[in-house]
């Protein structure tokens, strides 16, 4: 934490996992400081000795809060939910909570890891786009079908939940990798509704302290 | 659920995500029936129309319980924890819970998806072993360092937790892909301790209803 006791978020403007946490912090009104970790510059600042000591996974996001450092975006969000429960990001009903976690895990564990920067590096530049598109469309085929039975205004019913925090950054990645979103009307509709909310806007990659000038909006 | 009201676990003996859930069910003493889904046979039974209707992600495990079907292993375990809290698989203290979830997500979202069957198929047969080994060693390098600060007898302190349910199947995968475990003394020690527990034995891939005779133990 900073001297003033504010949590510190180690974040990269374009990291979709960091964006998930930034949305949670914004929705819950938690004041924090951003410590940018540039995943490209200097061969990747996440590999510095200082950062590795803080977060052995060498990934963003990591959140220093309440005297501990937590990595993994969903673990961070669950911690925030347990210690700062208002407004809630998980419904009260266990069955609905299961749906929220199922969708969150599908995106965070089933889609995103396969199109993450570190994996795309291994795939080789000429195969990256196809690889990422396959990972996303395969996941979105499942997700669209699931959402058709769980969604209201948002991913699960009419309350913004952790699942929505995963959806919006994943759709942004899909757009970045030029995935045709026409077959996913439910995903597209929910994404558009969410992007109109202030918490999703202030946390957006184009509005972070480390966003390069040419990408700012 | 079955007519007698028992939960049904859609599972494949070798699936490490299914194993995680089988351990949870065993630890909590929940009686269930196994419905084997062979991920290889008939081009993959997970792609059948019947299974896709039940679980659009076309993956195991899926658990039919309390009138709903849940997919994604960690979402299932969290649901079991919320509805059948004894014995607990998440500590009471929120900071310890964060550590458990951080380790679980690192394995379930950061290591396992990259060495999963569906990804290895895309990598091509000649590259599979190296690809899987890289994914596992990179993750284990982080995990070993994290465990050195969180572990007691088990991954987080001296209580078996969700993190342990992720660890054991991941180590089994590492062994299957011939990863040298010498650099990971903490991972190896905890794995050995856990494998001595009955819940980890009855749930083991070599003891499932769909385990082929030649692999049974």
pLDDT digits (tens, 9 = 90+) for A192-201: 999 999 999 9
Query: What does the pLDDT read at residue B1?
Result: 60
Q: Is the pLDDT of residue A181 over 70?
A: yes
CB–CB of B200/B168 below 8 Å? yes
Q: Is the pLDDT of residue A188 over 90?
A: yes
Interface probe for B, chosen from A54, A109, A147, A149 (most Cβ of B below 10 Å), is: A109
B150-161 confidence digits (pLDDT tens): 999 999 999 999
A71 touches chain B (CB under 8 A): yes
A108-161 confidence digits (pLDDT tens): 999 999 988 888 888 888 889 999 999 999 999 999 999 999 999 999 999 999
Both A113 and A146 in a single domain? yes
Both A77 and A117 in a single domain? no
Query: What does the pLDDT read at residue A26?
Result: 98
Both B76 and B104 in a single domain? no
A1-22 confidence digits (pLDDT tens): 666 789 999 999 999 999 999 9
Cβ distance A97 to B79 less than 8 Å, yes or no, reads yes
A74 touches chain B (CB under 8 A): yes
Note down the domain range covering B182. 94-200
Query: What does the pLDDT read at residue B119?
Result: 86
Question: Does residue B125 form part of some domain?
Answer: yes
Task: Give the span between the Cα atoms of A10 and A48, in whole angstroms.
Answer: 13
Query: What does the pLDDT read at residue A1?
Result: 60
CB pairs under 8 A between A and B: 115
Which whole number is the average pLDDT over A101-108?
Answer: 98
- Give the gyration radius of chain A's Cα atoms: 17
Question: Does residue A1 form part of some domain?
Answer: no
Both A52 and A135 in a single domain? no
Question: Does residue B12 form part of some domain?
Answer: yes
Last residue of one domain, picked from the residues B86, B110, B140: B86
CB–CB of B94/A83 below 8 Å? yes
A151: β partners:
A157
B70-83 confidence digits (pLDDT tens): 999 999 999 999 99
Which one of B74, B98, B114 has the shortest CB-CB distance to A101?
B74
Both B119 and B183 in a single domain? yes
CATH number at residue A146: 1.20.1050.10
Smallest CA-to-CA distance from A168 within A196, A139, A191, A193 is with A191
Both A61 and A81 in a single domain? yes
Residue A104: pLDDT band (50, 70, 90) is very high
Last residue of one domain, picked from the residues B35, B62, B86: B86
Cβ distance A105 to B108 less than 8 Å, yes or no, reads yes
Query: What does the pLDDT read at residue B126?
Result: 87
Question: Does residue B118 form part of some domain?
Answer: yes
Question: Does residue B3 form part of some domain?
Answer: no
Both A170 and A115 in a single domain? yes
Task: Give the span between the Cα atoms of B202 and B210, in whole angstroms.
Answer: 13
Contacts of A101 in chain B (CB under 8 A): 72, 74-75, 78-79
Nearest chain A Cα to B124, which residue?
Answer: A123
B180 vs B117: which has the higher pLDDT:
B180
Cβ distance B105 to A72 less than 8 Å, yes or no, reads yes
Average pLDDT score, chain A:
95
Question: Does residue B74 form part of some domain?
Answer: yes
Share of chain A above pLDDT 90, in %: 82
Query: What does the pLDDT read at residue A213?
Result: 95
B8: β partners:
B33, B64
Contacts of B142 in chain A (CB under 8 A): 56-58
Q: Is the pLDDT of residue A71 over 80?
A: yes
Which one of A68, A94, A104 has the shortest CB-CB distance to B83?
A94
Closest Cα in chain A, distance from residue B211 (Å): 26
Contacts of A59 in chain B (CB under 8 A): 110
Both B195 and B105 in a single domain? yes
* Separation in Å, CA A18 to CA A166, A167, A205, B58: 10, 13, 9, 28
Question: Does residue A2 form part of some domain?
Answer: no
CB within 8 Å of chain A, chain B residues 175-214: none
Which one of A56, A75, A113 has the shortest CB-CB distance to B98?
A75
Residue A217: pLDDT band (50, 70, 90) is confident
Question: Does residue B205 form part of some domain?
Answer: no
A49 touches chain B (CB under 8 A): no
Closest Cα in chain A, distance from residue B214 (Å): 31
Both B80 and B100 in a single domain? no
Both A20 and A72 in a single domain? yes
Both A118 and A80 in a single domain? no
Query: What does the pLDDT read at residue B24?
Result: 98
Share of chain B above pLDDT 90, in %: 82
Which one of A71, A83, A95 has the shortest CB-CB distance to B94?
A83
Both A145 and A52 in a single domain? no
CB–CB of B129/B179 below 8 Å? no
HEC per residue, A121-167: HHHCHHHHHHHHHHHHHHHHHHHHHHHHHHECCCCCECCCCHHHHHH
* Separation in Å, CA B54 to CA A149, B131, B145, B151: 12, 32, 39, 38
Which whole number is the average pLDDT over B201-212?
Answer: 97
A38 vs A182: which has the higher pLDDT:
A182
CATH number at residue B39: 3.40.30.10
Specify the number of domains making up chain A.
2
């Amino acid at each position: 934490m900073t001297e003033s006791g504010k949590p510190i978020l180690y974040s990269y403007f374009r990291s979709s996992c960091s964006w998930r946490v930034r949305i949670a912090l914004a929705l819950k009104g938690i004041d924090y400081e951003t410590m940018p970790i540039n995943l490209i510059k200097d061969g990747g600042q996440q590999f510095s000795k200082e950062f590795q000591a803080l977060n052995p996974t060498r990934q963003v996001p990591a959140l220093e809060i309440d005297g501990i450092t937590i990595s993994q975006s969903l673990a961070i969000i669950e911690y925030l939910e347990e210690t700062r429960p208002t407004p809630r990001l998980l419904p009260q009903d266990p069955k609905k909570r299961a749906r929220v976690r199922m969708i969150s895990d599908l995106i965070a564990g089933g889609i995103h890891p396969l199109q993450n920067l570190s994996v795309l590096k291994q795939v080789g530049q000429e195969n990256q786009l196809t690889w990422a598109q396959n990972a996303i469309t395969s996941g979105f085929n499942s997700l669209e079908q699931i959402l058709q039975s769980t969604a209201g205004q948002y991913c699960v019913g009419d309350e913004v939940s952790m699942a929505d925090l995963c959806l919006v950054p994943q759709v942004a990645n899909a757009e970045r990798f030029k995935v045709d979103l026409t077959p996913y009307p439910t995903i597209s509709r929910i994404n558009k509704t969410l992007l109109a909310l202030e918490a999703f806007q202030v946390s957006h990659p184009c509005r972070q302290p480390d966003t390069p000038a040419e990408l700012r909006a």
